[in-house]
Amino acid sequence: AINCVGKSVAFTIVIDGTEPSACISQIGDDSQLVDQTTTVELGSTVPVAIRMSDNDGVSGTTDITRCMLECRRVSEDNWNLVTYRANQGLWQIAVTGDTTMVIMDWDLKRYDVGVYQVRAVAIDQEGNTSVLHSCYCTVNVVMPPRIRQ
């Protein structure tokens, strides 16, 4: 390439075709997620911790721009958006390397009792998504104990 002064300038173009990854590491108080399954109460709001990583080549940074939490009833095919967060320089780079953690609230007031699958989806600045590399959890939404009686 030639710059505006007429001198040759060398530059490197990096094409990022690598999908980020996203995984739910905690739902509510359940940080174990044994068998990727947990139980939450209908009408509650539970925090969901999501770990994301992307191969942006610079340790301690990430080029993940958006994260979505999606759910569906176990019997359904389509995923529905629960909540969404854009990276405005606020990601908590609390883990090592290129791994980022973010916490989102899942409001269960508009859901019914039943079994759901939830997943996290990360999107990087190149538009690559983690859909193929997202793990999901099974969540049993139950009536609170005071209502069950």
Along the chain (149 residues), what's the average pLDDT of each consecutive run of 10 residues?
A: 63 68 88 84 92 70 82 93 75 59 89 94 84 81 77
Residues with Cβ within 8 Å of 57's Cβ and at least 6 positions away in sequence, in order, are 14
Residue 76: predicted pLDDT: 93
Residue 94: predicted pLDDT: 52
Q: Is there a contact between 44 and 139 (Cβ–Cβ < 8 Å)?
A: no
Residue 52: predicted pLDDT: 85
Residue 42: predicted pLDDT: 94
> Is 34 strand, coil or helix?
helix
Q: How far apart are CA 116 and CA 37, in angstroms?
A: 10
Of 16, 87, 75, 14, the closest CA to residue 50 belongs to 87
Residue 29: predicted pLDDT: 86
Residue 72: predicted pLDDT: 95
Cα torsion for 23, 58, 128, 136, to the nearest 10°?
Answer: 0
Residue 86: predicted pLDDT: 78
Residues with Cβ within 8 Å of 115's Cβ and at least 6 positions away in sequence, in order, are 73, 74, 138, 139, 140, 141
Q: What is the pTM of this model?
A: 0.77
